[in-house]
Amino acid sequence: MVVNRKIAYINLSTGKITQKIVPKTLRTLYLGGRGINMYLLYNHLSPKIDPLSQNNILFVGAGLLGGIPCLGSGRCDIAAKSPLTGAVGDSNIGGFFAPELRFAGFDHLAITGKAEEPVYLLVRNGQVHIREATHLWRKDTFETQTIIREDEDDEDIKSLVIGAAGENLVRFANVRTGRKNSAGRTGLGCVMGSKNLKAIAARGTNPLEFSHPDDLLEYCRQMNDMITSTRWAKAQSRWGTMIIYSNTNTAGLIRTRNFQLNQLEKGQDLEPENIDRYSIGTSGCYGCAVHCRHRYILKSGSFAPLYGEGPEYTSLGAFGTMVDCRKMETILVANHLVNKYGLDTLETGGLIAWAMELYEKGIIDNNMTDGLKLEWGNEEVLYELIRKIAYREGFGDKLANGFREAIDKIGKGSEYYAIQIKGMSNLHSDERPTPSFALGIATSTRGADHLRSRPAIDMYGLPADLLKEIYGGPVAADYNSYDGKSRMVWWQELLYAVTDSLGICKFQTVFCAVHAPQWKEFSRLIQLATDFKFSKDQLMQIGERIYTTERLFNLREGFSRKDDDLPKRYFKEPTPIGLPVARNKVIDREKFSEMLDEYYKLHGWDSMGVPTTKTLKKLALTKKPTNLL
């Protein structure tokens, strides 16, 4: 059966590999994917270890529903202690790797130690092999995947790989698969680089034997019909996540020139329809009926010919609004470069935008920047800084360890201008007009984050009765309001924790679409696939257990309520432009603190954000991790 997939423990220092079946008890507590990864992270890591030491463990996990033919079921979760923040390191990646890992007989990998020379792992039909990879070192993320397929003489192999950034231990290096998919956040490519692990390849021909295959197939068809009927999916299948830009920039909800403005004026070329000049069609991940990614070609310019996929909404901000570059072609080139080198889009763009504001204010100058004029809108400087960061050259090396170390090196009040939380850069969104979004980025276990809790439907002005029906309590319809927004954040955290543990796409749940699959549909899919039966309340409790486990990990590493906060600029500088609903807004410090209190209470944590004894007992977390695996 599909629930009998294994976990492989791989020690790169000794070459020892052991396999175990994932216990059903652990499935009922954490499901799979992110959930089991978080259990393993908390269970197997000693407190306060160096994230770049051999003692850090890299976990790769497929979701419990990975491989079903709906809802983008190709999501893979990757986790370790973050070298960027020192907190929970976790990132989710689409594409086709996770189903291939399941076809090969495994749901999880736990990789420890460090190889003496570069290696890659090959997971094939129940076996794990450690392959020599010196010939792959210094190859980019595209070349590496191609060479592995050639080495193994198999075009169907799927690989997770790192590029120059991971090899050079850039602390926000990502993990990549395919042309576009990236596990971008928290620096897990850096962890792979620290282990001399260039890639993880998977190939399998073992069938996924679901409990009720005929009924599952029919219900998956219904789920695909359900999601593709939403206005959000219809727009996304045409424009990708870039469609969000049309709304947020018009309103004034996008940070521009780092954090100085909240709207990109004369930014028409970044509107999503302009991708048509370069697009040759769209594609999608495994099990996806939406197909949200454009495939594009640049036929002219210094980087031509260039073939890529994307860009996401995040790239429009990282290499457009935040650095005041206003050409779609600039976005496409920068998007290609970070993918080639294996860099997190958001962290790279956030650091460069911060450096540009410091340069503008005279806090840094040409002597520090290697002579580069960090002027707004300078696309050549943008490209060069991306390269310098990946290779740790000159000023790029100062940025390559992330905000915390860069602030220490630069000093001179530079911290005030850094839009980061827990050491991680925020999305290019401006949350001053949206208290729910502000609370979400402040409390995320990963650092500033739009994928752990964001209740995007808060922007829709939905009737209060409908919001109450969704969230199980009163929520104000006005996105400027603070009332009930802690409930939205808490509820979305639980939903996304379960979504990531099932291995399906957040965009095909209640993220941007109100009438998308959620608890009821998840329960039915799980039962048809595995025969496990979970009620809505039981699934919400699993989400709570996962998120509280992450909280316990961070508390053990020294994080506390003081870290669930926003940059000072959110409280001091009003938004200067945009529509009236977004203009002249700041986050109210007192109301924010009240939201935080409400949020902790909903989780069953005390006023300092520590889970209470009652909560730990309810979630079966009263003992030290039980070593089920």
Would the pLDDT of 323 be above 70? yes
Would the pLDDT of 625 be above 70? no
Helix, strand counts (H, E) of the chain: 23, 17
**Spatial distance between the Cα atoms of 324 and 474, rounded to a whole number of angstroms:** 39
DSSP class of residue 211?
S
> Which pair of structure tokens corresponds to residue 526?
């799980």
Question: Mean pLDDT over all residues of the chain?
Answer: 96
The reported pLDDT for the residue numbered 205 is 96
Would the pLDDT of 166 be above 60? yes
For the beta sheet containing 58-62, the strands, ordered from the edge strand earlier in sequence to the opposite edge, are 17-21, 6-11, 106-112, 58-62, 76-81, 88-93
Mean of pLDDT values over 335-352:
98
Mean of pLDDT values over 122-145:
98
Under the banding of pLDDT at 50, 70 and 90, the label for residue 4 is confident
Mean of pLDDT values over 591-595:
98
Region of residue 623 (left: phi > 0; alpha: psi -120 to 50; beta: else): beta
User: What does the domain layout of the chain look like in residue ranges?
Assistant: 2-203, 239-425, 435-618
| Percent of the chain residues topping a pLDDT of 70 | 99
Question: Among 3.40.50.300, 1.10.599.10, 3.30.950.10, 2.60.40.1510, what is the CATH number of 435-618?
Answer: 1.10.599.10
Mean of pLDDT values over 143-159:
98
Mean of pLDDT values over 173-189:
97
Would the pLDDT of 629 be above 90? no
The reported pLDDT for the residue numbered 105 is 97
Mean of pLDDT values over 367-382:
97
Mean of pLDDT values over 54-69:
98
Under the banding of pLDDT at 50, 70 and 90, the label for residue 2 is confident
Under the banding of pLDDT at 50, 70 and 90, the label for residue 221 is very high
What residue type is assigned to position 394 of the chain? G
- Cβ atoms of 559 and 552 within 8 Å: the answer is no
Nearest in space to 82 (alpha carbons), one of 41, 137, 120: 41
Nearest in space to 96 (alpha carbons), one of 125, 70, 66: 66
Would the pLDDT of 565 be above 70? yes
SS3 608: coil
Mean of pLDDT values over 494-512:
97
Would the pLDDT of 349 be above 70? yes
Residues in Cβ contact with 102 at an 8 Å cutoff, skipping those fewer than 6 apart: 2, 5, 62, 66, 67, 204, 208
Region of residue 531 (left: phi > 0; alpha: psi -120 to 50; beta: else): left
One-character DSSP codes across 460-473:
G---HHHHHHHHSS
Please provide the CATH number assigned to the domain covering 2-203: 3.60.9.10
Mean of pLDDT values over 215-220:
98
Distance of CA 500 to the CA centre of its chain: 10
pLDDT by residue (tens digit) across 201-214?
A: 999 999 999 999 99
State the CB neighbour count (10 A cutoff) for residue 378: 17
The reported pLDDT for the residue numbered 623 is 77
The reported pLDDT for the residue numbered 3 is 86
> Which pair of structure tokens corresponds to residue 475?
């929520």
Question: Among 3.50.50.60, 3.40.30.10, 1.10.569.10, 3.40.50.10800, what is the CATH number of 239-425?
Answer: 1.10.569.10
| Percent of the chain residues topping a pLDDT of 90 | 97
pLDDT by residue (tens digit) across 435-484?
A: 999 999 999 999 999 999 999 999 999 999 999 999 999 999 999 999 99
CA angle centred on 22, ends 59 and 25, rounded to 5°: 115
State the CB neighbour count (10 A cutoff) for residue 626: 13
Would the pLDDT of 624 be above 90? no
